[in-house]
Amino acid sequence: MKIQIISEEIIKPIDPTPQHRKTYKLSANDQISAFLADVPVILFYSPTKEISSKNSDHLKKSFSKALTLFYPFAGRIKDELSIDCNDDGATYIEAHVAGNMSEIVEQPDIHQLEQLLPCKPDENLLHQTSRVMLAAQVNYFDCGGIAIGACIRHRIGDASSLASFVKCWGAISCGVDDNNVDGVVVDCASIFPPQDLSGLSLVRDFITENSDSKTVKRFVFDGPKIAALRGKLSNGPYLDRPTRIEVVSALIWGAFVGEENESKKVNKMAMHAVDLRKRLDPPLPKHSMGNIIHAAVANWPTKEVDYNGLAGKIHDSISMINNDYVNEVYADGAYFNLIRQRMEKIAKDPNNCSTFMFTSWCRFPLYEVDFGWGKPIWVGTAIWVTPNGAILLDTRDCEGIEAWVTLSKEEMVKFEQKPDILAYASFCPTI
């Protein structure tokens, strides 16, 4: 696949940010998310007559209007606690891709997908200053198809924040008056007050450990297979009717735990990033910007792998996160002190703990993003998550789940050969 950059520019908000909004305060969750890689998404659209009618200038103008609503995305880092909403703008790239889009979507490969993005997601780990908050790349294929890649710095928002932006951008492109589009910015610093996070550089060390030897593969659990798995794991001693996310997470975690048991690691944990927007009281608007997430931690104490039990542990860890829990956990910086203690403990005895990290983008409105030429035929990503981690996305019919799993090369070979993975997952199937 050959990509030629046609143009690259900085696009500013169409309207200036009011003076009273010039400083956006970062929350404690934003502070800690600065250690994480950028958040990328790629939307693929089949060739249509409407695509030719939506020219480059039209997309750029709607991009500029969307930036006005999500004004911190056009700012720059001021210091560790704030973003200067100075309207310096976001990166906008146009590229020509030689070949047909089908060459990409039939057998998605993370290295090819990376080329459709305006930046490498893990660059954030190396370059912490003087970078844009948001970048987009519009890729034009020879066949007439388009892939739109977008990437935000994790410091400014989570995957839900990025999904809100691209949906807003699409709505404006379709002719919706930007005055009628929900572009909501919430000051999460009042919910998660900034903290002294000195010593949490251990988080970055944990995330980047063995980064050169890790590999990422896509596994697809289609709707019927998930339905069968849910039926198999229902009416168990730990959980009656697990969700599709719970059963897929349990299956992946079980395959990992089963391998880890051989090394006799004592603490086996699964961490799920939980969106707090609907769990707070009152609930936050769905388009709220920021890292409004909390890690739910499930522990598995035995050597035996029981999928109903694993799903039950995941269910319990997520269910307990409500408004009262959040208020208690974040009081006086208790949560971040706990993180610091955990990281120090892991650093002292890394062989005593086994952790698998999940991030779910399921139910995000990514398959609803329409720029005027219909909805995407596929939504992908190209993020290198922490070793021993997975990102879960909806399949196109929103009944199945795509799991982008990151493991060491040696662990991936063993993972692919697990009987239950072979039974329920397809490896890189055609879109």
Tell me the two tokens of residue 149: 């890649």
**Is 370 part of the annotated catalytic residue set?**
yes
Q: How many CB atoms lie within 10 A of CB 189?
A: 19
Measuring CA to CA, which residue among 395, 25, 423, 7 is closest to residue 220?
395
Q: Is the peptide bond before 429 cis (omega within 30 degrees of 0)?
A: no
For every residue of 328-341, DSSP letters joined together read: HHTGGGHHHHHHHH
Beta strands 401-408 and 378-380, pairing class: unpaired
DSSP character at residue 133? S
66-79 burial, b for 16+ CB within 10 Å, e for fewer? bbbbbbbbbbbbbe
**Is 205 part of the annotated catalytic residue set?**
no
- Taking the C-alpha atoms of residue 387 and residue 29, their distance in angstroms, rounded to an integer, is 21
DSSP-derived 3-state class of residue 91:
strand
DSSP-derived 3-state class of residue 176:
coil
Q: Is the peptide bond before 285 cis (omega within 30 degrees of 0)?
A: no
The CA angle 13-288-393, to the nearest 5 degrees, is 100
The amino acid occupying position 312 is G
Q: Which of 30, 38, 154, 158 is catalytic?
A: 154
- Taking the C-alpha atoms of residue 246 and residue 312, their distance in angstroms, rounded to an integer, is 8
- Taking the C-alpha atoms of residue 430 and residue 226, their distance in angstroms, rounded to an integer, is 18
Q: Is residue 152 classed exposed, middle or buried when 0-12, 13-18 and 19+ CB atoms within 10 A define those classes?
A: buried
Instruction: Say how many residues make up the chain.
Output: 431
Tell me the two tokens of residue 33: 């998310």
User: Which residue intervals of 100-152 are DSSP H helices?
Assistant: 102-105, 110-114
Tell me the two tokens of residue 341: 């203690």
Catalytically annotated residues = 154, 370
